[in-house]
Amino acid sequence: MFLPLRYPLANLAARRTRTALTVGVVALVVVATTLFSGLVSSLKETLVSTGHPRNLIVLRKGSTNDGSSSLPLEAFQALRYFEGVAREGGEPLASPELVVQPFFRTASGGRENVLVRGVEPVALRVHDEVELVEGRMFAPSSGEAIVGSGASGRYVGAQVGDVLEFGRGRWRVVGRFDAGGSSFESEVWVDARELANDAKRPVPYSGVRLRVADGADRDALARRIDADSRWALEAKPETEYYAKQAESANVFYLIVIGLAVLAGVGAAFGATNTLYAAVQARRAEIGTLRALGFPRIAILTSFLVEALAVALLGFALGAAIAAVLGRVVSQALGGIGFGAATFTTNVIQLRVGPSDLVLALGLALAIGLVGGFFPASRAARLRPVEALRKA
């Protein structure tokens, strides 16, 4: 009892300009929303993908981030031997680290705070998502550094073989590392003691990262560290620590939703307009179909299909443009920098991913349904006699 698919689709094809304009509106909304959503997703992904679920980050109590914490040497010495800390080849997987955020010069002449992490060699084993992809690990006390892939592309002197100038010194870049897209890729790693010297830190470490042994209770270990009365420390799973930082990106989601809603409603109004005009223009046709015996539901669904078809075309066009545009913009800008609350710059690549496309598809369908609903029901409710009236 339904009208064939050909009917609404043929009608769209017949009114080429109007269809094109409406598809254009939906496409533009899709591009705008997808780009923004992609930006936010990329940021979130970077922050959330950071951290190993079996790692604990230990900082001074009350410090919200590595940069503002400091850890006494004795504390580190003791923590390494706590029960529950993993061992490899007899050595505890405890990575003491110093975090400093000096200025770096960007390729475009700007100045950004970059997270420089002073580490010992054991760091590569505790942070096993970090992998050297070019060059080698720095040698201790040699003025060398390794850089994350995100940082490598953004700052002057950060390519392997170059010399980086930050803090009070010069550092030779001997390697580049990837870290599964996490925020470590925006960092530069050097020898902890050299960094402490350069930054004139009396205490060489700001915190320690511990790998919890297989089979050991991670949270119990954390509680034991917290409760230790010798030092005021706080231990937290690494993933949780970074997830918290990801929360600061939540305000962006608000913007994305706001954008989607406002733009979506606007586009829906545009679609409604177009469809109302179509219903008006095809009154006699609708009356005829009703006279022939097609039930109201057939008319309703047919017009809804028209609206949805426009929406889907808009989505397809918009998604394609967004994917290309996102890549172009990201390349042109050399990544997009976000200064999070931790006074450091996270470099993210704008990537349009499946979740962004799903959001855009949902938006497009909503535009089609909302925009098409009223005109479609007006069409369905037309009384045949009135629709066929010649005046």
Matching residue, tokens 């991670």: 218
Over the window 193 to 222, marking each residue x when it contacts other proteins by CB under 8 A and - when it does not, the resulting string is -----xxx----------------------
Give yes or no for residue 6 binding other proteins (CB under 8 A): yes
Give yes or no for residue 51 binding other proteins (CB under 8 A): no
* Rounded least distance, CB 84 to other proteins, Å: 27
Over the window 150 to 179, marking each residue x when it contacts other proteins by CB under 8 A and - when it does not, the resulting string is ----------------xxx-----------
Q: How far apart are CA 127 and CA 111, in angstroms?
A: 28
Q: Which residues contact 74 (CB under 8 A, 6 or more apart)?
A: 230, 231
Q: How far apart are CA 85 and CA 237, in angstroms?
A: 13
Q: How far is CA 10 from the centre of its chain?
A: 40
Q: From the list 72, 128, 285, 373, which residue makes contact with other proteins (rule: CB under 8 A)?
A: 285
Q: From the list 253, 269, 362, 369, which residue makes contact with other proteins (rule: CB under 8 A)?
A: 269
DSSP letter string, 269-305: HHHHHHHHHHHHHTHHHHHHHHHHT--HHHHHHHHHH
Give yes or no for residue 239 binding other proteins (CB under 8 A): no
133-141, 210-218, 253-261, 304-312 -> range binding other proteins (CB under 8 A): 253-261
121-129, 204-212, 219-227, 342-350 -> range binding other proteins (CB under 8 A): 342-350
Give yes or no for residue 89 binding other proteins (CB under 8 A): no
Question: 146: closest CA among 204, 93, 191, 194?
Answer: 191
Q: How far apart are CA 145 and CA 158, in angstroms?
A: 9
Tell which positions 93-132 bind other proteins, by CB under 8 A.
100-103, 106, 108, 110-113
117-125, 134-142, 355-363, 382-390 -> range binding other proteins (CB under 8 A): 382-390
Residues 169 and 102: beta-carbon distance below 8 Å: no
Q: Measured from the CB atom, is 63 or 239 closer to other proteins? A: 63
Helix (H, G, I), strand (E, B) or coil at 49: coil
Residues 224 and 82: beta-carbon distance below 8 Å: yes
* Rounded least distance, CB 384 to other proteins, Å: 5
Q: What is the DSSP letter of 185?
A: G
Residue 57: its H or E element? strand 55-60
Number of residues lying near other proteins (CB under 8 A): 96
Give yes or no for residue 274 binding other proteins (CB under 8 A): yes
* Rounded least distance, CB 210 to other proteins, Å: 22
Give yes or no for residue 301 binding other proteins (CB under 8 A): no
Neighbours of 161 (CB within 10 A): 10
